[in-house]
Amino acid sequence: MSATADEEPPVVELDNVEIVYDRTFLAVQGVSMEAEEGDIVALLGPNGAGKSTILKMISGIGRSERGEVTRGSVYFEGEDVTNADTKEMVGRNVTHILEGRRVFEDLTVEENLRCGLYRDGRRIRYDNSDYEIAFEYFPQLEDLLDVEAGYTSGGEQQMLVISRALIHRPDLLLLDEPSLGLAPQLVVDIYETLRKINREEDITMIIADQNAKRTLEIADYGYVLENGQIELQDPADVLMNREEIKEFYLGTSAEESRYSDIRHYKIRKRWK
Amino acid sequence: MVEAGGLFSALVTGIGIGALYALVAIGFSLIYKITGVLNFAQGQFALLGAFLVVVLSTSLPFWFVEVQIPVYAAVVVTILIGALLGVLLERLVFRHFIGEPVLSVIIVTLAFVGIIEGGSRFFISAQYRAYPQELQPGWSLSLPLDTELQAPFVLGVALALLTVAALMAFFRYTVLGSILRASASDQQAAMVLGVSIERTIVIAWALSIAITSIGGILLAMSSGGVGYTIADVTILVFAAVVFGGLDSIPGAFIGGIVVGVLRQFGVYMGEFLMPGLDSVFPMVFLLVVIMLMPYGLFGTERIERL
């Protein structure tokens, strides 16, 4: 750790981390990254690059899937939390929004939100004012409270899981593919809201997503992963303008027209 | 021959005894609802509760210690021991199966069948034990058509209704109740909200064994004492919960009542048709239900394929 006394340590820091699943499968190798307080950090890369794995080892849920940090260290606010379990990380105000809009389908929207109030079962009394933080950013949820979550639309489900996490009052929010399978305009809206939440509630966020353009638009810093390793890293605005990113993730390369055939070939080669 | 008074009396007694099955069935449903485990030893837990009351309240030599506490205190202590047993089982057994297929825990419950029965034969008593006078109340509730509902049944109906109402309110209106349902629906998504799976298992088994003990004690009261036949209730409980929907608490209650009534009708008709109908009726019912409505009355469609 390089943090000095007058310098706040980053919220999360991964130092040369190697993650192995099931004691056999090497998922992530030599990854060093950090998220400064109040930042949105983008974690980009294709399917299977290790984005989810990294989030899961930060939140500890990876431990329950037989994942293990076998080398390197994970620090949370300067303290070593390598291989900590979910219970501990929740206790440190880390909330993880898992991939795939995991609403509790047979519970109503209100009951889903209520689950965000759970803290070691201490909370017994509650009322709708506990959900204010959710309604502030996603007012449409207020009309859906009595609807079974399984019957709401994809966008509403994504809003619901974000709201449920907000009610949990995290300092660090980990989001796994929040844009997956949503209509483009909805993605824009949700990302704008995330940015607002990040600013107004002072919640540090790490967003893993394949939608590089949208994610970098709201992020402060970005990492590009491939095959379990970090390929690129830069402040978001710098990263967005790098040729590799433009070419492979944004599809807006300046040389697009001239080298379109080559580009297609390269994309196929790298993504398949 | 069949006459109205006899039929009505069978119906009333059926509801009464059904309420006792319902209590045991609610215990079964709780475990399934929260942990997804089918507990084949449900009847054995009822048996254990029924036996503990006698052991604690009479000066029966209990291995090497001799205990004797007032009967009503014994009932309370038994229920508490039941809850404690749930905590203990999580620590000693179920904790090690977290992350394993649910089938392994189901097999573990099969092992409990033998362990509890053998254990109580060895440590408690190998024979039928009559219940103390205090637990054989003579009063009964008078109903029309010269029928009566015996005290254990009256208590059973009241307690079963109370338990169903309390559990439904718990699951519907409390944060903990919601989170338990949530973790049954998506364990990982609940874990990232801070739910500990160990804790949900403790809650499921402690509540279940406590409620099942009440059912066991009342079953013993209704027959004047406790014998190993009480454990046979497992199979009736299966019929009840399959009808109600495995994970539904009100379903378990209604299922218990229906099975109780069918059984009592079997007893009544057996008197002039053929004996044995009381065991046939509930099982034929079980078969028909499984064929016609595999999710039961109120069950969610997560039924275990047996």
Helix H, strand E, coil C: the string for A26-93 is EEEEEEEEEECCCCEEEEECCCCCCHHHHHHHHHCHHHHHCEEEEEEEEEECCEECCCCCHHHHHHCC
Q: Are A266 and A256 in contact (CB under 8 A)?
A: no
Question: From B197, which residue of chain A is nearest by alpha-carbon distance?
Answer: A87
Q: Is residue B284 part of a domain?
A: yes
Q: What integer pLDDT is reported at residue A263 of this predicted model?
A: 46
pLDDT in tens, A230-248: 888 889 888 888 877 777 6
User: How many domains are there within chain B?
Assistant: 1
Contact: B193, A168; criterion CB under 8 Å:
yes
Contact: B188, A104; criterion CB under 8 Å:
no
Q: Pick the closest to residue A204 from A85, A77, A88 (CA basis).
A: A77
pLDDT at residue A129 above 80? no
Contact: A104, B185; criterion CB under 8 Å:
yes
Q: Is A90 on the interface with B (CB under 8 A)?
A: yes
Beta strands in B80-232 (DSSP E): 129-130, 140-143, 147-150, 225-226
Residue A41, amino acid: V
Distance (Å, whole) CA A212 – CA A204: 19
Q: What integer pLDDT is reported at residue A13 of this predicted model?
A: 92
Q: What is the DSSP letter of A140?
A: G
Mean pLDDT of A2-20: 79
Q: Is residue B297 part of a domain?
A: no
Contact: A87, B193; criterion CB under 8 Å:
no
The tokens describing A44, both together, are 């980009």
pLDDT at residue A2 above 60? no
Residues with Cβ within 8 Å of residue A174, at least 6 apart in sequence: A55, A58, A59, A94, A95, A96, A97, A205, A206, A208
A65 pLDDT tier (thresholds 50, 70, 90): confident
Chain A contact set for B181 (CB, 8 A)? 104, 106-107, 111
At the topology level of CATH, where does A12-241 sit?
A: Rossmann fold (3.40.50)
pLDDT at residue A268 above 80? no
User: What proportions of chain A, in percent to the nearest 5, are helix, strand and coil?
Assistant: 40, 25, 35
Q: What integer pLDDT is reported at residue A122 of this predicted model?
A: 61
Q: What integer pLDDT is reported at residue B66 of this predicted model?
A: 66
Contact: A104, B182; criterion CB under 8 Å:
yes
Q: Report ipTM (2 d.p.).
A: 0.82
Distance (Å, whole) CA A34 – CA A72: 14
Q: What integer pLDDT is reported at residue A123 of this predicted model?
A: 60
Q: What integer pLDDT is reported at residue B18 of this predicted model?
A: 92
Q: Is residue B136 part of a domain?
A: no
- The Cβ of residue B240 has, within 10 Å, a number of other Cβ atoms equal to 33
Domain extent at residue B43: 4-130+149-292
A254 pLDDT tier (thresholds 50, 70, 90): very low
Q: Is A117 on the interface with B (CB under 8 A)?
A: yes
Distance (Å, whole) CA A98 – CA A176: 5
Instruction: Kindly tell me the sign of the dihedral angle through the C-alpha atoms of A228, A233, A239, A243.
Output: negative
The tokens describing B1, both together, are 């021959």
Distance (Å, whole) CA B235 – CA B241: 10
Degrees to nearest 5, angle at CA B263 with B262 and B268: 95
Chain A contact set for B207 (CB, 8 A)? none
The tokens describing B89, both together, are 């089982």
Q: Is residue B194 part of a domain?
A: yes
Distance (Å, whole) CA B92 – CA B106: 16
pLDDT in tens, A142-200: 999 899 888 988 889 999 999 999 988 899 999 999 998 888 899 999 999 999 999 99
Q: Are B243 and B251 in contact (CB under 8 A)?
A: yes
Q: Are A170 and A164 in contact (CB under 8 A)?
A: no
Q: Are A252 and A246 in contact (CB under 8 A)?
A: yes
Task: Among B176, B192, B196, select the one facing A61 at the smallest CB separation.
Answer: B192
pLDDT in tens, A98-119: 998 899 988 999 999 988 888 7
Per mean pLDDT, which range of A151-155, A220-224, A225-229, B273-277 is the poorest? B273-277
Chain A contact set for B186 (CB, 8 A)? 102, 104-105
Distance (Å, whole) CA A45 – CA A270: 11
Size of interface A-B (CB pairs under 8 A): 79
Residue A106 phi/psi, 5-degree rounding, is -90, 10
A95 has which bridge partners?
A173
Mean pLDDT in chain A? 84
The distance of Cα B241 from the centroid of its chain, to the nearest Å, equals 10
Contact: A118, B176; criterion CB under 8 Å:
yes
Q: Is residue B165 part of a domain?
A: yes
Degrees to nearest 5, angle at CA A216 with A213 and A220: 170
Residues with Cβ within 8 Å of residue B219, at least 6 apart in sequence: B20, B24, B46, B50, B152, B230, B233
The tokens describing A145, both together, are 């409270």
Query: For chain B (length 306 residues), average pLDDT per consecutive 10?
Result: 73 90 93 88 90 78 65 85 88 82 85 86 78 78 75 85 92 87 88 86 91 91 83 86 84 91 84 77 80 73 44
A262 pLDDT tier (thresholds 50, 70, 90): very low
Question: From B188, which residue of chain A is nearest by alpha-carbon distance?
Answer: A61
Mean pLDDT of A56-69: 90
